[in-house]
Structure 1
Amino acid sequence: MFFLLSSLAACGRWAVLMAGSSDWYNYRHQADIATLYDLLINRSFPPEHIITVAYDDEPYLAENPYRGKLFHNTDHHNFYHGSSKIDYAGAKVTVDALYNIISGEHKEHGKVLESTEEDDVFIYYDNHGADGALGVPEGAPKFILFDDLGDSFKTMYNKKMYKRLLFMVEAYESGNLPKYLPIPNAVVITAAKHDENSWAAIPDAELDNMLSDEFTFAAIDLINKSDYTIDEFYQNLVKGTTHSTPQIGGGGYPALKDTHISAWFGEYTKKPEESVSKPRPKVAEAIPQREVLRHYLKKRTDLSAMKQLHELDANTQKTIKKFEDIAYLLNINNLQKVQNPTDDHYKCFFDSMRAFSKKYGTVHPDDMGLTRKLLDMCAVRPKEMVIKAIEAI
């Protein structure tokens, strides 16, 4: 009877879990999502109400000594439930897939949210990012832009697809995202300010890799400890995330600040002292997300690593050169970082990013910070000029 009641209660909840990266040294993103999936399942969350988006390469890469497993902590407990639990994998991990999932559209392409105005919806995104954009697997044709993402959530609101929405984002420079979700009853929590790094954490000597991200590890730790209110959850996240400053906002904050997190994660069944103790990420053990790949390649002495590092640096220089060429065509000799970008600057940036992606695709995830140069150009030149310069190089 208890199981039946728990299942019925959970039917009013939906979740979307997305790891937007691929390749070995982004292991932590898919490990984070696997751990969140496991957390929800263990709280009687119906699996048919969970939509998972992950490239799904990490468990099977040659570099992984534990084939078919994903760890989130150095105790090497496996949180991976298998490829059958991944709804969008490989080339299906795209911007459009995420937009379709959120807006409940194009069901012919895959599983989408079928939530109603009586359902609480939890969405978690975990990857690289930049001010105004979220990353996608390397080689994908375009980025997730904050304005487009906001439009998808507006569609979700207009279609009455949620009662209360919690959107959490683990990404670099994601702090401006909350203002793009002004819709009612929506709370957004990001890992960092708009000009801050987010940090990888939990190094594993055997895997020679990072198993999680500081913000996400702290969030999961808190969810497992107590049924906090949103405000308590956020305040503890700030305390537990020592390298960056989590941000909170959205059209549902502060109105939902006293809502307990079990509204999205399911009922809390353990006493705090019964929760599994995990070693906290230490200050010296965290690495800025964009530096993880180079950090581990520099530690290695094999020829393959040195070659990969050389190619990575060469690719970064090519990307820098593209932005320098755009600035040259705009007659900008000394591009300065704009201190307080306006809404118009961001509108120009979004359109410029679309033009850039249309011509060049996406940049390497570790180089996403370079896209900031387009925002700086938008602060000193009209949008039409910036786009023409992009199209001309």
Structure 2
Amino acid sequence: MEHHRLFSLLSLLLLPLVVDARFNPLLRLPSDGENQSGGTNWAILIAGSKGYRNYRHQADVCHAYQVLKSGGLKDENIIVFMYDDIAYNNLNPKRGVIINHPGGKNVYDGVPKDYVGDDVNAYNFIGVLLGDKSLVRGGSGKVVSSGPEDHIFIFYSDHGGPGVLSMPQSPHIFADDFLKLLNRKHELGSYKSMVIYIEACESGSIFEGLLPENINIYATTAANSVESSWSTYCPGISPGVPLEYRTCLGDLYSVSWLEDSETHDLTLESLNEQYERVRARTSNQDTYEYGSHAMRYGDLVLGEEKASLYIGSIQSNKNSTFIEGNLLLSTPGIVNQRDADLIYYWHKFHGSPDGSSEKLIAEKELHEFMSHRMHVDKSINHIGKLLIGSENDAKVLNEVRPKGMPLVDDWACLKSMVRTFETYCGSLSTYGLKHMYLFANICNVGTKVETMAKVSAEVCNQFPSNIWSSLQGGFSA
């Protein structure tokens, strides 16, 4: 099964070193993208979703490519994962064009198509980061063939949940597997330092209590381990977004670091300074009236390094200095990441001509989406009460572990619980990933998988027969 393949692949990360990239020049690609420290700058950009309703994630990634390319990184050192079903989608009002800001430029122009469609998956991401072409299937075959003096930047934009990052092809990437991958990369000695930016709900849970401080990795996330991230530039909410787009154009954390990179000399700005600007904008200037808590993890000393060491710096911004008034724009209108789909389906329905077949289809899609959300919420709440007891379920199953502790003690248990639920109750989908806390806490109190299976079968004697609940795409774990 697919999840066994992923587990087997990741188990290889723990094997003793067979080859050290520092002493094997075949693992390096020739490049003139050298940074001032003598190494090469590498970047992996990942949009972990598909479908026009998720326009914003591919827009974030395409925009990131433009920023890095303008900042001096070479195409041979930038690896892009994106499903590539947005630019020429029939719903796109500007075919062949993707924008990440109302009235913004076409960020799709020139973007490398390294891994598209079904090649955007966890297995290829593993092979790409490790620099191992034998692990890659499909796509351009480009990998991060880095050496001990190189710097790596990873940007991921998509849906997520406690302890998990979504991918368009199952299985998703769970935090323990991601950390095994990062540790393996460190063991290979094939980078000097690494910076990771993650846009996803509960993205802090990917690193909370898991990312060591001694493997030269600095990570920032759009949200802490218990809250959603936020979409922005949405029709009907953000000024200037044409209603015909029907979907959000970007994500708040993502557009904040991208717009900061476009307006400042990153040779003068540290990673910490960029983080502080992004954190302020993502939190609505520290009011938290809406927005989320951007977070930092790992080797925080790396935060003192200049952002240009990883992102490059746009030449036209040279010598632009920071002044108090030179801040990012105020926080635009935003939407909870998990409700952005509702924006899309709502505008698709209301924007369709009355009496048309298009409107009937849009109405059906909206109904199916809402039915799936209600089914997932209702099923999980019912299962929780049966497993824990109605008197204590709210406290136990919604419990948040203290800061510095990982989501769950037994990650294999968590994945088994997710598979068991989906076997009987249908797919969680990206919406249902928010319930990972329940599955984790079920494991943390010692519930057996057999018990979970029995209760799930009792609660879900049937589930909606639509694309959201369908397991055609495979299990989440």
What TM-score, normalized to structure 2? 0.73
Superimposed CA distance per residue, residues 164-218 of structure 1 (whole angstroms, 9 cap, x where no aligned partner): 1000100011113234221421001000111111111113224122111110111
Q: What is the aligned partner in structure 1 of residue 107 from structure 2?
A: 79
CA contact 2:205–2:406 (8 Å) conserved in 1: no
Offset of residue 264 of structure 1:
0.4
Superimposed CA distance per residue, residues 265-288 of structure 1 (whole angstroms, 9 cap, x where no aligned partner): 12452247699x9994644x1101
Offset of residue 93 of structure 1:
1.4
CA contact 2:72–2:314 (8 Å) conserved in 1: no
In 2, Cα distance between the equivalents of 1:347 and 1:51? 33
| Residues 236, 221 of structure 1: alpha-carbon distance in 2 compared, 3 angstrom cutoff | same
Within the candidate set 418, 429, 432, 1:364 is matched to 429
Superimposed CA distance per residue, residues 224-262 of structure 1 (whole angstroms, 9 cap, x where no aligned partner): 213211221111111121211100011x21x21210011
Are 2:191 and 1:162 equivalent residues in the alignment?
yes
In 2, Cα distance between the equivalents of 1:329 and 1:96? 36
CA contact 1:143–1:362 (8 Å) conserved in 2: no
| Residues 62, 31 of structure 1: alpha-carbon distance in 2 compared, 3 angstrom cutoff | same
CA contact 1:175–1:194 (8 Å) conserved in 2: yes
Are 2:119 and 1:92 equivalent residues in the alignment?
yes
Gaps of 5+ in 1: none
Superimposed CA distance per residue, residues 101-134 of structure 1 (whole angstroms, 9 cap, x where no aligned partner): 2223334523322111110000001001111111
In 1, Cα distance between the equivalents of 2:73 and 2:406? 42
Offset of residue 306 of structure 1:
1.9
Within the candidate set 62, 72, 95, 1:34 is matched to 62
Within the candidate set 312, 318, 327, 2:369 is matched to 312
Offset of residue 77 of structure 1:
1.2
In 1, Cα distance between the equivalents of 2:124 and 2:377? 29
Matches within 5 A, 1:300-379: 300-301=349-350, 302-320=359-377, 322-324=379-381, 326-327=383-384, 330=387, 332-333=389-390, 335-336=393-394, 337-340=398-401, 343=405, 346-348=408-410, 351-357=413-419, 360=423, 363-379=428-444
In 1, Cα distance between the equivalents of 2:127 and 2:45? 14
CA contact 1:338–1:379 (8 Å) conserved in 2: no
In 1, Cα distance between the equivalents of 2:193 and 2:122? 23
In 2, Cα distance between the equivalents of 1:296 and 1:265? 32
Offset of residue 391 of structure 1:
4.2
In 2, Cα distance between the equivalents of 1:274 and 1:154? 37
| Residues 354, 233 of structure 1: alpha-carbon distance in 2 compared, 3 angstrom cutoff | farther
CA contact 1:142–1:362 (8 Å) conserved in 2: no
Gaps of 5+ in 2: 1-30, 235-240, 285-290, 351-358, 458-477
CA contact 1:126–1:171 (8 Å) conserved in 2: yes
In 2, Cα distance between the equivalents of 1:209 and 1:233? 28
In 2, Cα distance between the equivalents of 1:158 and 1:9? 23
Are 2:211 and 1:181 equivalent residues in the alignment?
yes
- Letter aligned with residue 335 of structure 2: I
Q: What is the aligned partner in structure 2 of residue 21 from structure 1?
A: 49
Within the candidate set 260, 264, 267, 2:306 is matched to 260
Secondary structure (helix, strand or coil) at the match of 1:100 reads helix
Matches within 5 A, 1:36-75: 36-75=64-103
Q: What is the aligned partner in structure 1 of residue 246 from structure 2?
A: 208
Offset of residue 8 of structure 1:
4.0
Secondary structure (helix, strand or coil) at the match of 1:195 reads coil
Superimposed CA distance per residue, residues 48-87 of structure 1 (whole angstroms, 9 cap, x where no aligned partner): 111111111111211012112111111241011357x121
Within the candidate set 128, 132, 135, 2:166 is matched to 135
| Residues 263, 315 of structure 1: alpha-carbon distance in 2 compared, 3 angstrom cutoff | same
Aligned length: 379
Secondary structure (helix, strand or coil) at the match of 1:330 reads helix
RMSD: 2.8
Offset of residue 19 of structure 1:
0.3
What TM-score, normalized to structure 1? 0.87
| Residues 94, 347 of structure 1: alpha-carbon distance in 2 compared, 3 angstrom cutoff | farther
Offset of residue 141 of structure 1:
2.7
Secondary structure (helix, strand or coil) at the match of 1:67 reads coil
- Letter aligned with residue 370 of structure 2: D
- Letter aligned with residue 366 of structure 2: L
